[in-house]
Structure 1
Amino acid sequence: MKPYLWDPWASARTDPDRVAVIADSEESTYGDLTRRADALARGLRARGFPDGATVSTDIPTGPAFFALALAALRHGFGLFPIDRELLGLPAGSSLLASVATVAHISAEPWADGPALPCPVLTDTELTATAAGPSASPTPAGRLVFATSGTTGLPQAVARARPRRPYQGVAVVERYGAGAGRGPHLMANPTYHLGTLGPALYALQAGSTVVVQRSWSSGAFTELADRHRADSVMLSPDRLTDLVEAGTAPQRRFRVVFHGGTACPPAVKRAAIDLFGPVLHEYYGTSNGVITEITTAEWLARPGSVGRPLPGIRIEITRDDWPVPAGETGDIGIRLRVADRDQNDGVLRTGDVGHVDDEGYLFVLGRAESPRQIRTARLEHDIRLLPGVTDAAVLDGADDATVCFVEHGGTSAFRDPGPAIEATADLLELPCPRVVLAASGALPRTPSGKLRRADLTVLARSAPDGSR
């Protein structure tokens, strides 16, 4: 089916009573959602905020949040969704200041909130001042995201502002979204691009978005069956939970998106057995999605994250020189013209990997030096071991290498120590210390990534082989 442009205002015109967002007891139709989005935009204008200004928000993912996101995209504002927990850290204020945030929008009064470098308003205060007609079309707004901060302090990444008015999204058949499709289930209700992106796309394409705010595998399958969901986004830790529980909705999904961090091949194969050949993996940065891969493609090339999307170019270099297919190097990207600022050149992802002869990308992990590349290779190889559900290798300044290994405790799992030592020896790394943990036991970010900064602290106290 040929892609076509669609947006929530088109859904509101054709079917205003169609449910747009469900989150616990909250619910909004497309008619209500778009009216609220327009009112929020008028409120921002009435406060004197100029075209293109950036506002931040900690409103929980749900109807009020999506209304604000649509207001920003359609009416030319920037929106920086940021967790209240992050705002309370010393870095929170500097993140807002780094993108010149003019106001913070919250669901509740800010009496007990941390000090911020901008005024704080509630979304109801904004709609109360929403006077006058809707603004004339301007270039579309943009989203700002905070990096996960798994290895250090988070950074704010502002996506390039489109040069044209908001036009919605191109509805593509393979994404399983649209007015004629069942809901999209948002099982990771976080502000990370990898989890928010598929939900925001589905909403703009005309699907109902169901937000699962409290995670459990049982609640997930119940929600999916009750709402007859057609698509879902699952971070690898959620995917692992479902695989280990062995439960799937009775009604098969059309698409199961996953991404945001590496998924061990054993987990992905089990997920394919559980859900069918409907897994759709993506790899990207806070600037946007870079590659995608279908189940059929992945089964032919296990471990790959796919080929770049149209208009995106991947460059693999070492010491700033291109390397041949199959050789490991730094992963750089050139975004599509529409997604980059005029001065953007090659964006460094911080990851290392290689492409094969057909242009499929394989990501090893993050690295900045030859030794870190070898460490990333060790981490990658550990994920390939039977029964391993995730891994993280920390290379300390004192030459100590600590390997954290999560596993499901199945009969397939064997002591990985000998295999890890043999691989480390081949890579000329010092004999590592192996720390075992049950699946899901290690500290993670809300988007499902292992929190390496916390693992560094844990490495000092965890005994070898601990569980």
Structure 2
Amino acid sequence: MSTFFDVAEQHPDRLAVLAPDGTAATFGELAARANRLTHALRRLGLGEGDGVVAIVHNGLPYFELLFATLQAGMYFTPVNYRSSPAEIAYVVENSGARVVVADADIARGCDLDVPRFSVGATEGWGDYASWGEDEPSTAPEPRTAGQTMLYTSGTTGRPKGVRRALSGKPPSLHPIHRDLMAMFGVEPGPGVHLVACPLYHAAPGSFAVNAMHLGHSAVLMDRFDAEETLRLVEEHQVTGTHLVPTMFHRMLRLPEDVRRRYDLSSLVSVIHGAAPCPREVKERMIRWLGPVVHEYYGASEGLICGVTASEWLAAPGTVGRPLTGVRLKITDDDGAELPDGEPGTIWFSSAHTAIDYLGDPGKTAAARSGEFITVGDFGYRDDAGHVFLLDRRTDLILSGGVNIYPAEIEARLLSHPDVADAAVIGEPDEEWGQRVVAVVEPVPGVAGDDALAVRLAEHCRAELAGFKTPKRFDFTDRLPRTESGKMMRRTLRKT
């Protein structure tokens, strides 16, 4: 089975990474730098099971550190570069990291009591660029697989590290990732993967690395821009990318003549997940790009389902069937398994989901039921095995004893031409328990006023039951989403 390290030996001159600032590295150059860093980490006393934290923007250092740790049996933890110094210090302490690497603009605000290196000059930090330059570029011996240890989004309380046991075996592309890439038409050999999202997020980083294990080059963006994405696809003949539904929405908002301006025929796989995608948005993307828009369902805790564009068109709205080796069950509040068609909490199990939440046995226990784990998603499975998501259990609105799913209402709002983004939350109501409230980001040039609220209410009532139509519309210039497209509902509920 091919890995990045095999590609580096067989095709050392093939482009591996093109960074947003124009710097680039071939597979051979990237592997040599990773080897030096592995030796440098070991010289600092790090061994198997030790951790490295990186707070860096999309660029070469991310991949250099990732591959250095992935061949040394170490844990690599990328952190959101928008995190505060206190949040960074928490992850460093909680993870037990032995080394920290940060971009200079981040390093200047952090005071950490571990060996630390800065990408760019920072007083009190070592120079990342020269770190390890005297070490050999040869592969380390032994070469054992490390893991990426991500921290959950922290939608309830402080984030927790999702930790998997080390295999002790040589690095490899996990079969569940290999099979998913093959399902989506991503095959070993030359190819170009466009990274339009921050690499510190689970999915963008994972799919970029998976593509590189298969021999594909990674072209990086420093921030998403709808038209720039199209331009880069044409310029670099991009074959695959990972996007999120909010990006789809912004791309579809481009004028028709702009969308037609670029040749996108090189695309064979536009992968999305991380957040619910409104049915109309996905249908429009498939009509535009063709049957190359594929979807997965999973979390930092593991992959669960996958569905190709053609399969989705046959069962619109599904997130697919469980992947090979994944078992799935849906239960009621008492833990009893429900029959097909009945909504409940989704539980899943596979070799890839053997995780613990670092330092939080209580959370680990609450998320487990025997071999199964849950991330709190709510949905159902039809008699053909297709899984359909309804919402996160914590996002459900209970009004008058009836379950209301925000994602359904948000999808309807997003289909209105005056809406750039929308979020639906529950608000306490003395009579009904909760009432439905919509927070809407109008498109530029559209006023968020009573007239828009009336139009949106009529738009909702045309397709949704009356009790699902928001009782109030609030308007904002920008809704709080993570770069992976997840709505930060906790922030909305505080406002």
Instruction: Indicate how the Cα distance of structure 1 residues 217 and 110 shifts in structure 2: closer, same or farther if over 3 A, else same.
Output: closer
Q: Give the Cα–Cα distance (whole angstroms) in 1 for the partners of residues 472 and 426 of structure 2.
A: 11
Q: 2:295 aligns with which of 277, 281, 290?
A: 281
Q: 2:5 aligns with which of 9, 12, 32?
A: 9
The CA RMSD over aligned residues, in Å, is 3.1
2:480 is matched with: 443
SS in 2 for 1:121: strand
Q: What amino acid is aligned across from residue 330 of structure 2 in structure 1?
A: I
Counterpart for residue 465 of structure 1: none
The C-alpha deviation readout for 1:54-101, integer Å capped at 9, x for no partner, is 11001222222112111111221100000232242x343223322222
Number of residues of Structure 1 aligned to a counterpart in Structure 2: 447
State the partner residue of 1:186: 195
Q: Which residue of 2 aligns with 1:463?
A: none
Aligned partners of 1:423, 1:117: CA distance in 2, in Å? 55
Amino acid at match of 1:156: G
State the 1:321 CA deviation. 1.1
Q: Give CA-to-partner distance per residue, 1:269-328, whole Å, 9 cap, x none.
A: 111111111101111111222111111111121111111111111221112111111111
Name stretches of at least 5 consecutive residues in structure 1 with no aligned partner. Answer: 459-467
Match of 1:392 in 2: 423
The residue that corresponds to 1:156 in the other structure is 161
Aligned mate of 1:380, from 384, 398, 408:
408
CA deviation after TM superposition for structure 1 residue 129, in Å: 5.8
Per-residue CA distance 1:309-359 (angstroms, 9 max, x = gap): 11111221112111111111111111x225415997321211111111122
- Quote the offset at 1:15 in angstroms: 1.8
Which structure 2 residues correspond to residues 56-135 of structure 1 after superposition, within 5 A?
Answer: 56-88=53-85, 90-108=86-104, 112-116=108-112, 118-122=114-118, 123-124=128-129, 126-128=131-133, 130=135, 134-135=139-140
- 1:322 paired residue number: 337
Per the alignment, residue 15 of structure 2 pairs with 19
**Matching residue of 1:257:** 271
Partner of 1:462: none
How far has the Cα of 1:164 moved from its partner? 2.1
Instruction: Provide closer, same or farther for how the CA distance between residues 213 and 414 of structure 1 changes in structure 2, counting only shifts above 3 A.
Output: farther
- Secondary structure (helix, strand or coil) at the match of 1:101 reads coil
After superposition, the Cα gap between the structure-2 partners of 1:158 and 1:423, relative to the gap in structure 1 and judged at 3 Å, is: same
2 CA distance for matches of 1:111 and 1:213? 19
Show structure 2 runs of 5+ residues with no match: 119-127, 357-363, 446-452
Write the distance in 1 (CA, Å) between the matches of 2:286 and 2:395.
Answer: 35
C-alpha change, 1:449 and 1:338, in structure 2 (3 Å) is closer
Contact in 1 for aligned 2:406/2:423 (Cα 8 Å) = no
CA distance in 1, matches of 2:406, 2:102: 44
- For residues 417-438 of structure 1, give each alpha carbon's deviation from its aligned partner in whole angstroms, at most 9, with x where no partner exists: 25657957557x9x63223568
Partners of 1:87 and 1:369 in 2: CA distance: 26
What is the TM-score of this pair, normalised by structure 1? Answer: 0.86
Within-5 A mapping of 1:332-371? 332-334=347-349, 336-341=350-355, 345-368=371-394, 371=397
Distance 1:109 1:60, change over 3 A: closer
Q: 1:205 aligns with which of 214, 224, 230?
A: 214
Q: 1:115 to 1:376 in 2, by over 3 A?
A: farther
Secondary structure at 2:405's aligned position in 1?
Answer: helix
Q: Distance in 2 between matches of 1:254 and 1:26?
A: 26
CA distance in 1, matches of 2:251, 2:40: 43
Alpha carbons of structure 1 residues 75 and 356: separation in structure 2 relative to 1, 3 Å: same
Q: Deviations over 1:146-174 (max 9, x none)?
A: 22345654332224433422124665544
Contact 2:186-2:269 at 8 Å conserved across structures: no
Does the C-alpha gap of structure 1 residues 191 and 369 become closer, same or farther in structure 2, counting only changes over 3 Å? closer
Greater CA drift, 273-282 or 379-388: 379-388
1:241 aligns to 2:250 (yes or no): yes
Q: Which residue of 1 aligns with 2:307?
A: 293
Q: Does the 8 Å CA contact 2:184/2:308 hold for their aligned counterparts?
A: no
Inter-CA distance 346–16: structure 2 relative to 1 (3 Å threshold) = same
Selected match of 2:44 from 42, 47, 71:
47
Change (3 A) 1:363 1:155: same
Amino acid at match of 1:264: P
Could you tell me which residue of structure 2 aligns to residue 416 of structure 1? Answer: 456
Q: Secondary structure at the match of 2:41?
A: helix
AA in 1 matched with 2:339:
P
Report deviation, 1:130: 2.9
Amino acid at match of 1:446: E
Distance 1:402 1:153 in 2: 26
Question: What letter is aligned with 2:439?
Answer: F
Distance of 1:111 and 1:349 partners within structure 2: 33
Q: What is the distance in 2 between the residues matched to 1:313 and 1:112?
A: 46
Alignment match, 2:448: none
Residues 132 and 224 of structure 1, relative CA distance in 2, 3 Å threshold? closer
* Farther-moved stretch of structure 1 (147-156 vs 447-456): 147-156
Provide the C-alpha distance between the structure 1 equivalents of 2:240 and 2:407, rounded to a whole number of angstroms. Answer: 31
Distance change (3 Å), C-alpha of 1:361 and 1:107: same
Deviation at 1:113, TM superposition (A): 2.6
CA distance in 1, matches of 2:103, 2:396: 47
Taking only the aligned residue pairs, the percentage that are identical comes to 29
User: The residue matched to 1:200 in structure 2 has which SS?
Assistant: helix
User: Is the 8 Å Cα contact of residues 303 and 362 (structure 1) preserved in structure 2?
Assistant: yes
| Cα distance change, pair 370–322 in 1 and its aligned pair in 2 (3 A) | farther
User: Does 2:429 align with 1:403?
Assistant: no
Which has the larger displacement, 79-88 or 401-410?
A: 401-410
In structure 2, the residue matched to 1:145 is 150
Determine the C-alpha separation between the residues in 2 that align with 1:205 and 1:131.
Answer: 26
Deviation at 1:244? 1.3
Q: Deviations over 1:191-224 (max 9, x none)?
A: 1112211111111110000011132222111111
- 250-259 vs 395-404, which moves further: 395-404
CA gap of 1:160–1:243, structure 2 versus 1, over 3 A, is: farther
